Amino acid sequence: MLVRDAMSTVVLTIGPAHTLRQAAALMAARRVGAAVVLDHDTSGLGILTERDILTSVGAGQNPDLETAGSHTTTDVVFAAPDWTLAEAAQAMAHGGFRHLIVLDGDGPVGVVSVRDIIRCWAPVRLREATLAVG
């Protein structure tokens, strides 16, 4: 199975000036765990995850004053839609993160998460286990 089969095509894109509270509200409304941060000044893509927001709030920082740009991961590993889920899982395990921005051409076309991979793999593994027993 490929990344394109598992990825979420709901790509929340925000700017670096969004506050963490605004980012959290948008992520909650869209039911996603990560936002793509597009910085037009640097022409760069980054990612802000729910964990980044949690870490900031846990450190006592004010989510109404902290900006997405201050908490964005800019050293991003991108996935291609034609990667296998095993390749995506390996990249996540190696990098220690739970989301990959999926790029096709010049821009993001999706985000794949550990949850997406598990959702796709779990039924396959269950079928394999059932066939092995039966």
Tens of pLDDT, residue by residue over 106-128, are 789 999 999 999 998 876 655 66
* 107-113 and 99-104 beta bridge pairing: antiparallel
The pair of structure tokens assigned to 102 is 């999926």
CA distances from 97 to 19, 42, 64, 65, 132 (A): 22, 23, 25, 25, 32
Whole-prediction pTM value?
0.84
Q: Which of 105, 100, 96, 106 is nearest to 46 (CA)?
A: 100
* CB distance 66 to 20 below 8 Å: yes
Q: Per-residue pLDDT for 8 more than 70?
A: yes
71-86: average pLDDT: 94
Domains of the chain: 3-133 (3.10.580.10)
How far from chain centre, in Å, is Cα 80?
13
Q: Per-residue pLDDT for 5 more than 70?
A: yes
Question: In whole angstroms, what is the distance from residue 7 CA to residue 1 CA?
Answer: 11
60-65: average pLDDT: 98
